[in-house]
Structure 1
């Protein structure tokens, strides 16, 4: 017996028996085409079912025909074939399968925007049309019709997305529901739409109904946890068989889709509050990918089930590995939100740590026909992944790193206070390479002579990128350093000193964050109109907020023209010159690839990957490494 066994006990949900307490959370994938479930969609969910999760809630499907969005649809019989194929494909795995019913309300990508009140999402969004009583009745019918289609498709239950600022959540919010009729004002009235939807679904079908509810709308205001508990009880009274508790809205996505700086289990108290108010199963969510934390949720009685979202994108086998005690093998979700960012832009779901995600249909680790000697130079994300995949296919692989430990830029990326999770992935990859028998060489500068001595059949150049150093007068002064040196602690910086960070990209912002946390007075000088380019949107928002709290000064649209003793000189868009006091200067201007400068002996097959080919993001680096490993 282990403390994790509690996660694998069965539990009742309505008339269903779920085989364990782990539920795959509904998450958008953009793998559908025109609202129809595709073979890619099915392969994605089949892979998670194969990993041992007890229940899968298929991503939100649009219930109203006039709603336009990237989500799959369940608004008419033409969508049934794909939905049926999905359910049938998951049946052999013994999972309970539900589907989330969704109406985005004013949070649409395109097309009609509707809401309880004509309040736009933000200043750039259209003013939504205020729903009439007739409109509301029509949407309630849409939910019921969608539930009947779900039953026809063979789903075991349905879930209504009543959280995150979507239509039911919008009705519940006193901040955005200003109606004076029966659907506005008191909490009872604001909950009326949810009650009507719940009753319509439970009257139309025998499927158990899960209601996803915000335990709190987040810093933007709106529904509070006390009100959420009352709403949960009302919705259960209207027929819901379980409550799934989340939090946050489009205006507070750092709550809903917490980046790595947010502690694990941050929404657990909300689930506990709702649990005290209802007598049906409650699901908790919010970075619960640590097995001990997940088990504690159930052991404590805070919730009956644990939702795993991004954790199952990163590690589909999370349930089986935890159940079997193979905790050291868990590929860590680092909450980088790369998956969220891609889907938010209408692109297919991918993962920064799992290159299989989003391409399960074509992913196949075929054993190499002829094992070869593969030499990987550079151990950043691209290099380590190339080595891992090549070794899994049976090649004789060695990896070479000039620094004292594996990781490349991962080491530096994980030093900022908000990026510590990156180091977990580095440690995981390093351990996997060791376990797989990859020959690891650190502290070695590789040149053409060494490659010739090693006689590899294939050479993977993943040496990353090096900092750009533009010809700014004074840039070679002794108080000017590459930002990575400050991140590593190689340059002594005292509290109260003034540091100017030139460049407001990810490295620049993270350098500023680390220094400001130590009491250093920091100014970021950036040529562009904003800082944080290259950082996923939710993480960027959180990081910029932290920089403000730490009194980091930000100067944008500023072109550095000189670095002088004690000052950085820049011009503004009008050409006026400004001095910024500086005891030290950190350069974070950009990167240039190193692959072109790497000398290779003739006759060796050469692959240039990741930043060594072209500076890019984490997802591209890991995926390029995997592609090379598959092709070698």
Structure 2
């Protein structure tokens, strides 16, 4: 059997699950409106059919005050029961189990009715919370019980009580925030009272067949947070009160430590879960940055946990579990931890999807159906846009040939995978290559194809995905040997010098700086990562934080930009702060609002505030934008071929893999209708 521990059954008490895979909670942007519940039901149904034994929904509030936003998702009345019923029904039809996550946001809510243990305002919310009275706390406890009763009526198999990530319950349990002096604050027993009383209240109103999961904060990752001794005492109390499963919670939303982004090593916080498992007798689940079955199998086989919770990997591939169980792990479309189409979408009010899988949460409008008239299609360009289009076309029955002038597929994604912390980007290339082979796409590498070649091959339609080339600015001295393009540096064609100026502070400029910091001082090993960011998974440090021990290369790096905006302003909503912090920790200097003048033996000359100066560096790296590669377009059109341009060839500014992969799907759908 492939991955025997992962695919062994587990008795959770109320019921037995056939494998150890949990699809963890993630907000999709659809929970707020019942008109989208059909989409949500199909999304969850497909994941249950794809091998997720237990699914946990996005957060649903048990009370009006606990909503994430005005009109946010809540389970309050029997009318909500009827609206929700289609979701567990769909999962059950696929043979799965599903739990409703009860998420009370407390002071993290974005509305004026927010409440908490104290009136201290959260740094990520514009609203000051109301500090609850003892009577008001009892009302919130009762709301958890009522929401659980309603969830069982709706057909859910259980609830996950969200007790981590800095939300309402965590705002009581953690000494970082709870400064109350009554029976709900002060001692650890008093601060933990809310969590214990909620579980008691829930147990009193649900049946013995109803699963109760508690997501416990193992590492708050905030100053003066919960020490391990208190985590352990709370876990034992929850077990005693009848919780069936403890799920790992890592970090608060206001933590200044990355916990799920791509630079976090796989299962970086597993030791915290292992400690938890060693002190309780109920199953525990490990989470955070587990994206492939060999990782999950190793964790469970070693006895570090009983189940593996993954959320975004199920966005990336609805059939993750089936592929793993059947021995086709190489065909799993792997989550790369980019956040660009999931968390970044949530925080700007967009519905969630996935950069590497545009079908995620678009199942209602994106379906693979055979082409009405199969065509002979040539895809020119083997980056992610071209590979996406080639796979999509082959799946719909077209005859497909893919041409790439280099000897390796991947394009700009291949360069991205060279950035320390973005190694998982290579998994996307592995996935596409596996799909191309499985679908019988003819791949031509190292070929400069011409319009005449395609005409002779009987091609009628061309998808032009030739990507971009780095833009070289018109600057005196730019042709010198000490000036290199970012692609030359990242591909290993040119070695980094000991002092470097990086021209251009967009996403590629930041990536190049991280490459320069860590290409010869990596922090990709778990031990190095934890030391680098100051995370303690083994002792009793408050909140799991200790003094960081940054590791980086001993070279001078200066990031330069012409604009006067804050460096990194255009980076991802949920990951930009990590990249800015990483550069600051590495001592990267910033020059903002500069006018580039020339490059010579002395270095990079520029003008700032009217004063001409020289940046004395050995090397200048150009990250000054890209230009679309469209050299073939005119000859293809003149040859009478139908030409469709996608990816960087279509739009070079601000390279966007999310757009490129989705364009590959969309262009083929249009051609197949």
Given the two structures, how large is their TM-score scaled by the length of structure 1? 0.94
Quote how far apart the aligned CAs of 1:563 are.
Answer: 3.4
Cα–Cα, structure 1 residues 555 and 128, in superposed 2: closer, same or farther, change >3 Å? farther
Rounded to whole Å, the distance in 2 between the matches of 1:263 and 1:578 is 41
CA RMSD in angstroms, aligned pairs only: 2.2
Quote how far apart the aligned CAs of 1:576 are.
Answer: 4.5
Rounded to whole Å, the distance in 2 between the matches of 1:16 and 1:514 is 48
Checking the alignment, whether the CA contact within 8 Å between 1:218 and 1:248 is kept in structure 2 is yes
Checking the alignment, whether the CA contact within 8 Å between 1:259 and 1:336 is kept in structure 2 is yes
* Residue matched to 1:379: 382
Checking the alignment, whether the CA contact within 8 Å between 1:473 and 1:561 is kept in structure 2 is yes
* Residue matched to 1:558: 594
* Residue matched to 2:328: 326
Q: After superposition, where does 1:342-421 map in structure 2 within 5 Å?
A: 342-421=345-424
Quote how far apart the aligned CAs of 1:26 are.
Answer: 0.9
Q: Deviations over 1:411-456 (max 9, x none)?
A: 1111111211111211221232123211111222344444444442
Quote how far apart the aligned CAs of 1:312 are.
Answer: 1.1
Quote how far apart the aligned CAs of 1:153 are.
Answer: 0.3
Quote how far apart the aligned CAs of 1:254 are.
Answer: 4.9
Cα–Cα, structure 1 residues 533 and 628, in superposed 2: closer, same or farther, change >3 Å? farther
Rounded to whole Å, the distance in 2 between the matches of 1:354 and 1:123 is 29
Structure 1 stretches of 5 or more lacking a match? none
* Residue matched to 1:199: 200
Q: After superposition, where does 1:171-570 map in structure 2 within 5 Å?
A: 171-206=172-207, 207-218=210-221, 220-252=223-255, 254-256=257-259, 258-338=260-340, 339-494=342-497, 497-517=498-518, 518=520, 519=553, 520-526=555-561, 527-533=563-569, 535-570=571-606
Moved more, 12-21 or 143-152: 12-21
Checking the alignment, whether the CA contact within 8 Å between 1:468 and 1:589 is kept in structure 2 is yes
* Residue matched to 2:670: 631
Rounded to whole Å, the distance in 1 between the matches of 2:231 and 2:258 is 16
Moved more, 59-68 or 198-207: 59-68
Checking the alignment, whether the CA contact within 8 Å between 1:211 and 1:243 is kept in structure 2 is yes
Quote how far apart the aligned CAs of 1:582 are.
Answer: 2.1
Rounded to whole Å, the distance in 1 between the matches of 2:121 and 2:57 is 29
Whether 1:614 and 2:651 are equivalent positions in the alignment is yes
Quote how far apart the aligned CAs of 1:564 are.
Answer: 4.1
2:628 to 562, 574, 593: 593
Describe the SS at the equivalent of 1:141.
helix
Whether 1:140 and 2:137 are equivalent positions in the alignment is no
Checking the alignment, whether the CA contact within 8 Å between 1:211 and 1:240 is kept in structure 2 is yes
Quote how far apart the aligned CAs of 1:299 are.
Answer: 2.3
Quote how far apart the aligned CAs of 1:503 are.
Answer: 0.9
Cα–Cα, structure 1 residues 469 and 528, in superposed 2: closer, same or farther, change >3 Å? farther
Q: Deviations over 1:136-164 (max 9, x none)?
A: 12211211111111011011111111110
Checking the alignment, whether the CA contact within 8 Å between 1:418 and 1:543 is kept in structure 2 is no
Rounded to whole Å, the distance in 1 between the matches of 2:439 and 2:302 is 38
Describe the SS at the equivalent of 1:250.
coil
Quote how far apart the aligned CAs of 1:578 are.
Answer: 4.0
Checking the alignment, whether the CA contact within 8 Å between 2:383 and 2:409 is kept in structure 1 is yes
Describe the SS at the equivalent of 1:196.
helix
Describe the SS at the equivalent of 2:100.
strand
Moved more, 39-48 or 385-394: 39-48
Checking the alignment, whether the CA contact within 8 Å between 2:470 and 2:486 is kept in structure 1 is no
Checking the alignment, whether the CA contact within 8 Å between 1:36 and 1:79 is kept in structure 2 is no
Moved more, 25-34 or 51-60: 25-34
* Residue matched to 1:30: 29
Cα–Cα, structure 1 residues 9 and 216, in superposed 2: closer, same or farther, change >3 Å? same
Quote how far apart the aligned CAs of 1:510 are.
Answer: 1.5
Describe the SS at the equivalent of 2:255.
helix
Rounded to whole Å, the distance in 2 between the matches of 1:351 and 1:283 is 24
Cα–Cα, structure 1 residues 528 and 148, in superposed 2: closer, same or farther, change >3 Å? farther
Cα–Cα, structure 1 residues 244 and 255, in superposed 2: closer, same or farther, change >3 Å? farther
Quote how far apart the aligned CAs of 1:31 are.
Answer: 2.1
Describe the SS at the equivalent of 1:210.
strand
Checking the alignment, whether the CA contact within 8 Å between 2:413 and 2:426 is kept in structure 1 is yes
* Residue matched to 1:163: 164
* Residue matched to 2:100: 99
Cα–Cα, structure 1 residues 293 and 516, in superposed 2: closer, same or farther, change >3 Å? closer
Checking the alignment, whether the CA contact within 8 Å between 1:534 and 1:617 is kept in structure 2 is no
Q: Deviations over 1:564-601 (max 9, x none)?
A: 442323444x5444432222111112223334873223
Quote how far apart the aligned CAs of 1:386 are.
Answer: 0.2
Describe the SS at the equivalent of 1:7.
coil
Structure 2 stretches of 5 or more lacking a match? 521-552
Checking the alignment, whether the CA contact within 8 Å between 2:112 and 2:128 is kept in structure 1 is no
* Residue matched to 2:526: none
